[in-house]
A and B are shown apart, each in its own frame.
Chain A
């Protein structure tokens, strides 16, 4: 479990992360979203005891951040760009990481073989890391972060540089691991986070803007319900709907007999579709289309961070 309370970090006078509080349960994958420079990496560096917070604290698996050697035992960390010792071969690198985490000799080689299998590294285990492609290096970093079987995995952009097949593989891997672990991963590839995470939080300018499941965020993104309606012969229907809901705003367009309308209501939980359907039946109008608009995460992101999405679909 990861619990952060009022984490704040300054770089000199520059505020990088401000009063960030959140909680990730065991068995949960939390996505950390934000534009470049939003404070994602800084947050992760604080949680992994690389950077001390300027103020605030956090508990990792029940251990406070200031007991940093103890905390690090519970964390598997994949830093941004998955740094690894490029002069070593994969097995030697993993052996080094395992030994540094104090894995006993008896189990070390088995763990390396197991993790190499999980991350698809068997074919390159004796190759030098600087000969490997970006995708493989990313997997080496991932294998290294999981070698000591940590309770919490903190992954900074785990899927950058991977091809779509590898992304799906890694996503499955993360989901599988998450059954027993706490996972916090950052990304700015939105569909990626949507697919891999149970919950997500959006930060911008170092502040938490939104936190919740994809559906919860999507509703926040709209700030209301939107319904697209297309009717044949249905002016009376729209009048009925306007009468039934006080706050509804209707934009309609007429093309011959066909009326196309967008109905907006500030309350996202309101059920306008039923009213439209019953009104159409009552006035004998033909309902050609009745479609609630689901907010995409991109819209939410744009709304919360006030900037265009840095990288769209992966």
Chain B
């Protein structure tokens, strides 16, 4: 556990000792601000729903960017060998990296709390619904981070990892859009297996067990895949 946290701390340091962390954070906050402000000033609605409905798209771009170098760079720089010969289990390495991505996205999402706070000055904000939406956003981020980490374990090039992660997430995202054109018997399955669908269902302010279990299960599945991928490299 302590080693997992140490790894998470190291990733945090690397993220903010290099421009990447600032670039990603700035871009995310700018985009967030744009979509929130657009809803508030152009549409004239003092509510968070508009922001949360575009958030999956933002995460689609930004989470692969935060995760891309996590495992890819370690393999490219040879530091993976250093890491893997420390007294730490391979699973803890993956979990530490996952925790690092989650820490970053949590901090970024925490910064967007100024939106609901400023809205509460203008009018009534349903605190329960906003809280459920933030929880949904974190769970969706976890599912995306799992996929992106798996993508990062597949290649030793950060850019390739980004494209892989982004591609997988975009595929999942587009599958939902395409569901309408599919035979009705398949539609239900596709919608049930889509992380975004479960996220959207939580935005109503209802924390249903199946949504929570699905999204966290999705993250766990891909963390496992990343773990197997790293172990596989040793046995080849």
Contact = CB atoms under 8 A, between A and B. Distances in A.
Nearest to A73: B87
Interface string B74-88: 000111011111111
A150 to B, nearest CB: 11
A89 B79 CA distance: 15
Interface residues of A, number: 33
B78 A81 contact: yes
B79 A85 contact: yes
B85 A48 contact: yes
A83 B81 contact: yes
A92 interface: yes
A79 B87 contact: no
Contacts of B236: 11-12
A138 interface: no
Given A79-B81, A85-B10, A101 B86 contact: yes
A139 to B, nearest CB: 15
Contact of A88 (B6, B17, B86): B17
A259 B79 CA distance: 62
B189 interface: no
Interface string B84-114: 1111110000000000000000000000000
A99 B6 CA distance: 7
A101 B87 contact: yes
A51 interface: yes
Nearest to A49: B85
A48 B85 CA distance: 6
Contacts of B124: none
A100 B89 contact: no
Given A51-B234, A69-B87, A87 B7 contact: no
Contacts of A81: 78
B18 interface: yes
A102 B234 contact: no
Contact of B85 (A75, A85, A88, A128): A75
Interface in A167-191: none
Contacts of A75: 85
Nearest to A77: B85
A215 B229 CA distance: 47
A88 B14 contact: yes
Contacts of A83: 77-79, 81-82
A86 interface: yes
Interface of A: 11-12, 45, 48-52, 69-70, 72-73, 75, 77, 79-81, 83-89, 92, 96-97, 99-102, 128, 144
The 7 closest A-B pairs by CB, nearest first: A83-B78, A72-B87, A99-B6, A100-B86, A48-B85, A83-B79, A79-B81
5 contacts: A83-B81, A88-B14, A96-B6, A101-B87, A102-B87
